[in-house]
């Protein structure tokens, strides 16, 4: 279980560090960026808040300190406060909140009198049946790629986001998938790696997040734009009041395999 918690934390940090915001015009006003995830893995959970900067400014995004950050478990009608980290400005950490499948979570963020709200329901967990490897040739190079294998539940709309680590180093890309063409089928989904090659004895860890439609849409656009920094358009946010980013509740499965 500790491995799952560690992997979820790595996923959260990887998401939080990805600069998935729009290229800002020189005269564009600063915008709030909020990124947070609640999972079935147990707390702590993290909500990261930053501001955008003009296009010609230094490529750093200032942390937002002093925000009021709360998450309501609408199913249990319990409100949880997130406290700002004393060592990482702009990162707010949960206390006592334990995410549960089927529960709806509502995030409230107050910054200088402005309120930002988002809602997400945690889907039921779909687990991986295993990880395998496939090979493909690109420009005469043989590339080893991980493949996730799982059974999609029938007659249920499912949305998935995959991420991976190689030897505990996050690969900075995401893979969004829905079951529009595979409802109820056994799925073998290849995780394409653009520049990293898996070598003998490498350990690959795959994180499979079951997400709601809003979070799928966010990462699907991010994936279509390359999945890393410098995307030409903002992924669609589910947060109110013009904030960028996302707030999502996801159920997570983690598996590892050595090549």
pLDDT bracket for residue 136 (50, 70, 90): confident
Mean pLDDT of the region 203-230: 83
The CA distance from 212 to 123, in Å, is 7
More confident residue, 14 or 44: 44
Asked if 146 and 188 count as a contact pair (C-beta separation under 8 A), the reply is no
Residue 224: pLDDT over 80 = no
- Tell me, what's the pLDDT at 227? 53
pLDDT bracket for residue 195 (50, 70, 90): low
Output the pTM of the full model: 0.83
More confident residue, 207 or 60: 207
Residue % of the chain over a pLDDT of 90: 61
Mean predicted lDDT score pLDDT of the chain: 84
pLDDT bracket for residue 137 (50, 70, 90): confident
pLDDT digit string (tens) for 54-107?
Answer: 654 555 789 999 999 999 999 999 999 999 999 999 999 998 999 999 999 999
Residue 19: pLDDT over 70 = no
Sheet holding 128-138, edge to edge: 128-138, 141-151, 186-190
User: Of 169, 226, 120, which is closest to residue 13 (Cα–Cα)?
Assistant: 169
List the structure tokens of 145.
Answer: 């790629």
pLDDT bracket for residue 1 (50, 70, 90): very low
Backbone angles phi, psi at 213, to 5 degrees: -65, -40
More confident residue, 139 or 251: 251
pLDDT digit string (tens) for 154-173?
Answer: 999 999 999 999 898 888 78
Residue 199: pLDDT over 50 = yes
Q: How far is CA 80 from CA 39, 83, 110, 133, 193, in A?
A: 15, 10, 14, 42, 38
List the structure tokens of 143.
Answer: 């590339």
Residue 113: pLDDT over 70 = yes
- Tell me, what's the pLDDT at 226? 62
Residue 181: pLDDT over 50 = yes
pLDDT bracket for residue 23 (50, 70, 90): very low
- Tell me, what's the pLDDT at 141? 74
More confident residue, 60 or 210: 210
Mean pLDDT of the region 17-40: 66
SS (H, E, C) the chain: CHHHHHHHHHHHHHHHHCCCCCCCCCCCCCCEEEEEEEECCCCCCEEEEEECCCCCCCCCCCECCCCEEEEEECCCCEEEEEEECCCCCCEEEECCCCCCCCCEEEEEEEECCEEEEEEEECCCCCCEEEEEEEEEEECCEEEEEEEEEEECCCCCCCEEEEEEEECCEEEEEEEEEECCCCCCCEEEEECCCCCCCCCCCCEEEEEEEEECHHHHHHHHHHHHCCCCCCCCCCCCCCCCCCCEEEEEEEEEEEEEEEC
Residue 145: pLDDT over 50 = yes
């Amino acid at each position: 279980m500790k491995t799952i918690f560690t992997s979820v934390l790595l996923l959260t940090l990887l998401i939080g560090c990805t600069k998935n915001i729009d290229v800002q015009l020189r005269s564009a006003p600063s915008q709030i960026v909020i990124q947070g995830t609640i999972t079935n893995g147990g707390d702590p959970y993290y909500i990261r808040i930053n501001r955008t900067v003009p296009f010609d400014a230094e490529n750093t995004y200032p942390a937002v300190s002093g925000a009021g950050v709360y998450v309501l478990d609408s199913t249990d009608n319990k409100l949880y406060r997130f406290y700002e980290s004393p060592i990482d400005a702009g990162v707010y950490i949960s206390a006592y909140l334990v995410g549960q499948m089927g529960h709806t979570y509502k995030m409230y963020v107050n910054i200088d009198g402005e309120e930002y709200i988002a809602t997400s329901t945690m889907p039921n967990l779909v687990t991986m049946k295993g990880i395998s490897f496939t090979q493909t040739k690109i420009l005469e190079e043989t590339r080893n790629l991980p493949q996730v294998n799982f059974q999609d539940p029938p007659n249920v709309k499912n949305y998935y986001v995959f991420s991976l680590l190689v030897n505990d180093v996050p690969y900075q890309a995401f893979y969004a998938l829905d079951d529009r063409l595979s409802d109820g089928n056994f799925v073998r989904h290849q995780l394409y790696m653009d520049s990293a090659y898996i070598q003998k004895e490498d350990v690959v860890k795959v994180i499979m997040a079951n997400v709601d439609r809003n979070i799928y849409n966010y990462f699907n656009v991010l994936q279509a734009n390359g999945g890393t920094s410098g995307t030409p358009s903002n992924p669609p946010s589910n947060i109110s009041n013009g904030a960028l980013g996302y707030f999502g509740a996801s159920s997570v499965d983690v598996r590892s395999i050595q090549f």
